[in-house]
């Protein structure tokens, strides 16, 4: 299992007229967590893409528990629980840092494709080599 953590403060433009975070922003928070996660394992997304591999999203699940508001600090925990093969499952839990309450949970499934052909591929070796020690 490989986990990464990130804190983000809710910004005004992410809220609606009620001062509540619009539901679509949680998918963006998931992406912020994934970007931090892949940097933490030692292969920033820009480096992966420069090697000719892209990671398109194939599905997203988001389970909303409690609302977040302007000024809340969200604690984003991103976890990969199994060694990826042709896909990578990325799990996210977002909590309100002040209260500890779970705001939402979710899962994003991404594939691996060659950037030139857009054809699917298995997990690239430059990522696999960084992940193997976590799953042995």
Q: What is the pLDDT of residues 38-62, one digit of tens each?
A: 999 999 999 999 999 999 999 999 9
State whether residue 7 is helix, strand or coil: strand
- Tell which phi-psi region holds residue 29, choosing left (phi > 0), alpha (psi between -120 and 50) or beta: alpha
- Boundaries of domain holding 123: 2-135
Mean pLDDT of the 21-45 span:
96
CATH number at residue 106: 3.10.129.10
Q: How far apart are CA 30 and CA 36, in angstroms?
A: 10
Catalytic residue numbers read 16
pTM of the model: 0.94
* Number of domains into which the chain is organized: 1
pLDDT at 136: 84
């Amino acid at each position: 299992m490989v986990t990464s953590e990130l804190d983000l403060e809710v910004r005004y433009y992410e809220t609606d007229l009620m001062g509540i975070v619009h539901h679509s922003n949680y998918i963006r928070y998931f992406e912020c967590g994934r970007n931090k996660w892949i940097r933490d394992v030692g292969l920033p997304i820009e480096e992966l893409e420069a090697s000719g591999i892209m990671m398109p999203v194939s599905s997203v699940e988001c389970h909303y528990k409690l609302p977040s508001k302007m000024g809340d600090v969200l604690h984003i925990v991103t976890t990969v629980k199994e060694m990826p093969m042709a896909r990578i499952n990325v799990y996210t839990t977002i909590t309100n840092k002040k209260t500890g309450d779970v705001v939402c949970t979710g899962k994003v499934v991404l594939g691996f494709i060659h950037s030139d052909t857009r054809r699917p591929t298995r997990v690239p070796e430059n990522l696999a080599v960084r992940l193997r020690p976590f799953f042995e």
